[in-house]
């Protein structure tokens, strides 16, 4: 069995908590939190995503993600633009002004190519990849438009400390963990969509090293966009 496939199968067996913790620990800011805080942050992110999905399902019990987006006034658009920007492969983006989800056709086509049909069913069930990525971005729409503090700012890491003064930063990857849990709950997926990232990462590992990244804190603060993306580090 190819190493990439072995990695994908191992990821399938991992719990959302384990996948989320691995995502969090890849974030340089999250490394400043102790393990207990990391574990609590992941649990809260997963719960926030599932709770947000449950609330939306009560409003739209029968609708698929693109139909929900329409009801919420969120445009869903596709583009044939190159999904690669520098070292980042983009699957989808959310932009809040005006609210829209942008799907990168080329990135989805790449994932379809490397995802065997039997593995696809085990990861996303009867849903489509488009369903999953639109759902993921709908979470970002929800967190942008609601009054409560985003999950990415509920846990903060201290970057610098000078006497009583501290410079802290939020942890953007928590929003990505929550968005995956949202998609999993909304679509009743067999597993957390992080596994899709691992499949894509495994497919390119012979050529590059890859890791999942979330929107930068600066982008999040500007509310310019939140991406479902993979960054390839040369």
* pLDDT tens digits, one per residue of 70-124: 999 999 999 998 887 776 778 999 998 999 999 999 889 888 888 877 788 888 9
Report the alpha-carbon distance of residue 95 to residue 99 in Å, rounded: 5
* pLDDT tens digits, one per residue of 120-137: 888 899 999 999 999 999
Rounded to a whole number of angstroms, the distance between the first and last alpha carbons of the chain is 26
Q: With beta carbons less than 8 A apart as the criterion, state whether 129 and 112 touch.
A: yes
Closest CA to 135 of 72, 224, 45: 72
pLDDT at 204: 52
DSSP character string of 186-199: HHT-SS-THHHHHH
User: What percentage of the chain exceeds 90 in pLDDT?
Assistant: 46
Query: Which segment, 98-112, 157-171, 177-191, is predicted with the most confidence on average?
Result: 177-191
List the single range of 17-21, 25-29, 225-229 with lowest mean pLDDT. 225-229
Whole-angstrom CA distances from 31 to 25, 37, 157, 169 are 6, 10, 8, 12
Q: With beta carbons less than 8 A apart as the criterion, state whether 33 and 183 touch.
A: no
What is the pLDDT of the chain when averaged over all its residues? Answer: 81
Higher per-residue confidence, 209 vs 5: 5
Confidence of residue 211 (pLDDT cuts 50, 70, 90): very low
pLDDT at 225: 44
Q: What is the mean pLDDT of residues 205-230?
A: 40
List the single range of 22-31, 34-43, 71-80 with lowest mean pLDDT. 22-31
pLDDT at 153: 87
The answer to whether residue 51 scores a pLDDT higher than 80 is: yes
Q: What is the mean pLDDT of residues 207-211?
A: 37
**Burial bucket for residue 154 (CB in 10 Å: 0-12, 13-18, 19+):** middle
Closest CA to 23 of 158, 174, 133: 174
The answer to whether residue 214 scores a pLDDT higher than 90 is: no
List of residues 6+ apart from 143 with CB closer than 8 A = 52, 150, 151, 175, 178
């Amino acid at each position: 069995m190819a190493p990439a496939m072995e990695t994908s199968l191992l990821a399938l067996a991992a719990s959302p908590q384990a996948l989320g913790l691995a995502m969090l620990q890849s974030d340089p800011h999250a490394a400043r939190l102790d393990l207990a805080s990391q574990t609590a942050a992941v649990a809260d992110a997963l719960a926030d995503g599932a709770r947000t999905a449950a609330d939306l399902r009560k409003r739209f019990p029968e609708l698929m993600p693109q139909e929900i987006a329409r009801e919420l006034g969120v445009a869903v658009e596709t583009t044939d633009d190159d999904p690669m920007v520098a070292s980042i492969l983009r699957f989808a983006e959310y932009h809040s002004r005006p609210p829209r989800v942008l799907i990168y056709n080329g990135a989805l086509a790449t994932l379809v190519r490397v995802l065997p049909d039997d593995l696809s069913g085990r990861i996303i069930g009867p849903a489509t990849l488009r369903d999953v990525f639109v759902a993921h971005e709908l979470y970002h729409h929800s967190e942008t438009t609601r009054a409560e503090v985003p999950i990415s700012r509920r846990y903060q890491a201290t970057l610098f400390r000078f006497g009583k003064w501290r410079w802290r930063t939020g942890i953007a990857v928590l929003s990505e963990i929550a968005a995956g849990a949202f998609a999993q709950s909304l679509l009743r997926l067999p597993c957390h969509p992080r596994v899709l990232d691992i499949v894509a990462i495994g497919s390119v590992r012979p050529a590059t090293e890859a890791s999942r990244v979330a929107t930068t804190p600066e982008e999040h603060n500007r509310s310019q966009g939140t991406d479902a993306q993979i960054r390839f580090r040369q």
